[in-house]
Structure 1
Amino acid sequence: MNITFEELLAFNTVVNTGSITAAAEQLQQTTSGVSRALGRLEKKLNTTLLRRTTRRLELTEEGQLFLIHAQQIIASVEEAEEAMVLQRQEVAGLLRVNAATPFMQHIIVPLITRFRHSYPRIQLELNTDDHIIDLIEKRTDVAIRIGSLKDSSLHARYLGASQTKILASPHYLKKYGIPTNSQQLQTHTLIGFNSSSYLNNWPILDSKGQILQVTPTISASNGEMIRQLALQGEGIVALSNFMTKSDQQSGQLVPILEQEMIYREKPINAVYYQNRKLAFRISCFLDFLSKEITDRQLL
């Protein structure tokens, strides 16, 4: 059959980018060259891998099955290339990391200088999403997930856990007073999330003895916006320590209702697909991140 690596790479890149034109640009080839490579591959396999519509390309059932094998072959070649580089005491390659905006800003970004010093040949691509993403669709090597894991197809590296606290700025508390129970709390301006209702479950019991689910007076799509609103004295928030630790230490945000709070920690995991030996660049990043978080007590 004599399928070539070039044909596999063309097919995989078209799937990842969503179009032949985008794939050609990424591969630094002509559109006609990528199209011919796809045509040769389908002819050799005697099947249609992609349906070409006027708006997009869609994988056929056969294409979905073949993609899995193609990606494994491409990954094996990339792994072999990395192994050769490692023999020269260098770890190299593109590493794509995805995390929620606050975790990226407060934990990962401050560590990048140290990571780059240790692994200067690793090319980093940092992306943020405040919703759970599909690693393959987003072309992500490692994603940081906060909270319980539900996707059993992923491997996970436990990084630690972060406690959620109820916080407000001294300016807000001086102006509006300090609530002493959950009933009083609900009369204040509460700042929460507009994306997922479970994120508005605060670590305190309501009058019925249930976890308090607040209805935010002000809502935002990610934790960093909520933090900024709290720092400006706009209201009371419930946020993780990993993003407010320095604010608490500087006194810009003050924990309240600590005696009433329920101790709740959210696990933080790095997740990735591992259908082969883990790529060196990924394992280096996971080892580095885990050690830094533990040594510096970042969570």
Structure 2
Amino acid sequence: MIATESLITFVAIIDGGSFSAAAERLQQTPSAISRTLSRLEQQLGVRLLTRTTRRLELTEEGRWLLTRARAILAQLEEAQQQLQQHAAQPSGLLRINAATPVLNHLLAPLIPGFMARYPQIRLELTAAEAVIDLIAEGADIAIRVGALADSTLNARRLGDSPLRLVAAPGYLARCGQPLHSEDLAGHTLLGFSHPASLNLWPLAQQQQAGISIVPALSCSSGETLRHLALAGAGIACLADFLVGADLAAGRLLPVLPAQTLPWQQPLWAVFYKQGVLAPRVSCFVDYVAAALAGSGTSAAARNGIQISA
């Protein structure tokens, strides 16, 4: 296969009228230009130029190749310009995967603004409570909460969301407000069915950081736990991005806020990157990060997010 560099060199020789002129144009030495042309002729098995002490003349094969080389290079230049324009105006289908609570509470409020800014991007949002294989599921980006275990992924940290113990006013009126972590033994605790690490609550007890609870009612979805807490079923431990609006509106109340340790769940945008990141992916990650940061921290606070330095 003929290298593009060889065609560029060949055309530069003809346009410049000499090896030295081509060398100056391509910022190479005349000997390097001569070697490139020789390799091209050897590869094609024909003589392209007739060299004399005063001038260079194209052979019949050289004239044939010159016409086609100019057309090929013009097409490559046009393709490059189109790709640059495409990069300047991201477009295409962008597939985003996240757990249901992340889609509902973190991403959904940001999507209208993103679509208004990038109207040529089509979005496909898919909910998955478990960690997925991005390639197998055909996803471009996943928004994940917590520690990342897959080292093959590229990731950008979007921020951190504090963990809160919460319960509905009705539940606390009926069952009482716990005053110490030991009081939780007399309450209905709502937790996750898996993984067990999500049932380690940010409370100190007997100089130990974190209390592992055994939930009376467990489920796999943080969104379901939120609804159970809102319904007065018990006390739950959830991230601020999920319950921040409920706390602000008084639908949920903090439980043991003074004893709660400052644990935070990191929020990540994860993606596979081989070479240059696709513009539709990079612009979405940039948009979400900027939207969560907001102007100062106001937008992030509304979403229960603290922006990482």
Shift of 1:259: 1.2
Alignment of 1:60-209 (within 5 A): 83=83, 85-86=85-86, 90-207=89-206, 209=208
Shift of 1:84: 5.5
Letter in 2 for 1:125: E
Q: Deviations over 1:27-61 (max 9, x none)?
A: xxxxxxxxxxxxxxxxxxxxxxxxxxxxxxxxxxx
Identify if the C-alpha distance between structure 1 residues 279 and 176 changes in structure 2 by more than 3 Å, giving closer, same or farther: same
Whole-angstrom distance in 2 between the partners of 1:270 and 1:81: 30
Query: In structure 2, what is the equivalent of residue 293 of structure 1?
Result: 292
Query: In structure 1, what is the equivalent of residue 246 of structure 2?
Result: 247
Query: In structure 2, what is the equivalent of residue 224 of structure 1?
Result: 223
1:215 matches 2:227: no
Shift of 1:283: 0.6
Identify if the C-alpha distance between structure 1 residues 207 and 126 changes in structure 2 by more than 3 Å, giving closer, same or farther: same
Identify if the C-alpha distance between structure 1 residues 82 and 145 changes in structure 2 by more than 3 Å, giving closer, same or farther: farther
Please give the root-mean-square deviation of Cα atoms over the aligned residues, in Å: 1.9
For the 8 Å contact 1:82–1:280, the answer to whether it is kept is: no
Q: Deviations over 1:112-157 (max 9, x none)?
A: 1111101111111101111111111111111111112221111111
For the 8 Å contact 1:186–1:214, the answer to whether it is kept is: no
Identify if the C-alpha distance between structure 1 residues 184 and 90 changes in structure 2 by more than 3 Å, giving closer, same or farther: same
Letter in 2 for 1:231: L
Whole-angstrom distance in 2 between the partners of 1:82 and 1:221: 46
For the 8 Å contact 2:202–2:209, the answer to whether it is kept is: no
Shift of 1:85: 4.9
Aligned to 2:288, what secondary structure does the other structure show?
helix
Query: In structure 2, what is the equivalent of residue 269 of structure 1?
Result: 268
Identify if the C-alpha distance between structure 1 residues 244 and 82 changes in structure 2 by more than 3 Å, giving closer, same or farther: farther
Q: Identity over aligned residues, as a percent? A: 39
Q: Report the more deviating stretch, 226-235 or 203-212.
A: 203-212
Letter in 1 for 2:104: Q
For the 8 Å contact 2:201–2:213, the answer to whether it is kept is: yes
Shift of 1:207: 4.4
**Contiguous gaps of at least 5 residues in structure 1:** 2-78
For the 8 Å contact 2:96–2:140, the answer to whether it is kept is: yes
Aligned to 1:172, what secondary structure does the other structure show?
helix
- Corresponding pairs, count: 221
Whole-angstrom distance in 2 between the partners of 1:215 and 1:151: 28
Aligned to 2:108, what secondary structure does the other structure show?
helix
For the 8 Å contact 1:142–1:282, the answer to whether it is kept is: yes
Aligned to 1:136, what secondary structure does the other structure show?
helix
For the 8 Å contact 2:189–2:217, the answer to whether it is kept is: yes
Aligned to 1:149, what secondary structure does the other structure show?
coil
For the 8 Å contact 1:82–1:93, the answer to whether it is kept is: no
Alignment of 1:50-69 (within 5 A): none
Alignment of 1:24-39 (within 5 A): none
Q: Report the more deviating stretch, 199-208 or 102-111.
A: 199-208
Q: Which has the larger radius of gyration?
A: 2
Whole-angstrom distance in 2 between the partners of 1:157 and 1:245: 23
Shift of 1:86: 2.2
Whole-angstrom distance in 1 between the partners of 2:110 and 2:82: 23
Query: In structure 1, what is the equivalent of residue 232 of structure 2?
Result: 233
Q: With structure 1 as the length reference, what TM-score do the two structures score?
A: 0.70
